[in-house]
Amino acid sequence: MSKTKPSNESTHLDPLEPLIGQAALMRMWLAGVDFKALARQLMIRTECNPYDTHALMDLASIMYITDHPDIGLSLQEYALSTQQIYRLPTAKATVTLRVLAFVVPGNLMTNTPLEFLLEDSDVSLELFYLVPSGALPDELPEHDVLFVAIGESDQNLPLLKTLTGVLDDWPRPVLNRPEHIVRLARDTVYGLLSDAPDIVIPPSLRVERGFLQAIGLGERNLADSIPDGEYPIIVRPVDSHAGHGLARLDSADAIGEYLLNNSEGEFFISPFIYYSDADGLFRKYRIALVKGKPFICHMAISEHWMIHYLNAGMEHNAEKRQEEARCMACFDDDFAVRHATAFHAIADCMGLDYLAIDCAETHDGKLLVFEVDTAMVVHAFDSEDLFPYKKPTMQKLFDAFRQLLLDCTDCEPTEDRHP
């Protein structure tokens, strides 16, 4: 992969219609738009013009949103064989800043959710999809900031390492440098934060399938991998997110059945930490750090330890929503202050301009860290009728992210810049 220079000329083809984009499609999905009808319209466009890459990419996004990832990836790869650069619609007529993002094919949790962070803004965003067999073109669209949005994973590791050298003398400011993104593997994060002040993070050990199987058969001891060697443990496949393949195993006997249902070759195992509060409920927070400053994205409250906002039933429980609203209203003066030392340590260890954390609080008031990543989904798509407190809270994050981009440039609003 060779270094490249910006160009005033876009290298992508001009599609018949603009890209809809993941942010707009997600809003449409949550609003109940008939995706079958929309998908048919997009397919007709591709039948009329097989080079309508915007239609193909929007179809891919629909497949990801509706949980058909294999079809989504195939559509993406087909579109990328023709075109690798995609410009997102800009909400404002006047563009203040032009951002070029390096991304890779995949679902909504594969890259930093820049579309969601910059929705309704005056920032122009172009996505350059890097593929393993490809290279940067000789010229790229002119931009004011380059953002490396590629998420950490085994698959992306070689690419991130290659980009480290490519970006050493990039002619524009670079945010979220690749050599810092590679620190986000679960076991690496544990190594970096295990001794950090005011933080509790369970050991996360990477093991091969055969090793885990041997523990289940009694041929190896759990203590060979986890310090205290006690159950229950948490198991998940390497590179899995959003609870895919995640399970709590209460004894060695449960390992065999788990492996029957999960065919992956490597797993992370960790001790299970009981983090329910006195009322028996579990509370998990998603926090974004922008230049080290924390912003709350959501607080999920559930009767079950494996919490995701969508399965916590927040939309069906007014008391849970009221608690989340109170948490968001006093976050800057309460949660952020209590855990200021922990947030500072995370930002310092990771060295990233933007990241997100899934966390909770221990019984003795420390920050319990589950995951640190740059590709966690953060958004303002929830119903304003049910969640009136969400949009202004998320706008604080979006404004801070926009300011992060502006602060690394000398850009001012320019009337002749148009998306």
- What are the residue ranges in the chain where pLDDT is below 50? 2, 5-15, 412-419
CA distance 41 to 147: 33
Q: What are phi and psi of 2, to 5 degrees?
A: -105, 160
The yes/no answer on whether domain 282-407 falls in CATH 1.10.3470 is no
pLDDT score recorded for residue 416: 42
Q: Give the three-class secondary structure for 358.
A: strand
pLDDT score recorded for residue 1: 53
Break the chain into its structural domains and give their ranges. Answer: 5-176, 203-271, 282-407
Q: What is the pTM of this model?
A: 0.90
Q: What are phi and psi of 23, to 5 degrees?
A: -65, -50
pLDDT score recorded for residue 12: 43
As a CATH number, domain 203-271 is 3.30.1490.20
Non-local (6+) Cβ contacts of 394 within 8 A are 297, 378, 379, 380
pLDDT score recorded for residue 419: 40
Does this chain's domain 203-271 share its CATH topology with 282-407? no
CA distance 56 to 49: 10
Q: What is the pLDDT of residues 51-68, one digit of tens each?
A: 999 999 999 999 999 999
Tell which residue, 70, 175, 179, has the closest CA to residue 118: 175
Q: Considering the chain, what is the average pLDDT of its residues?
A: 89
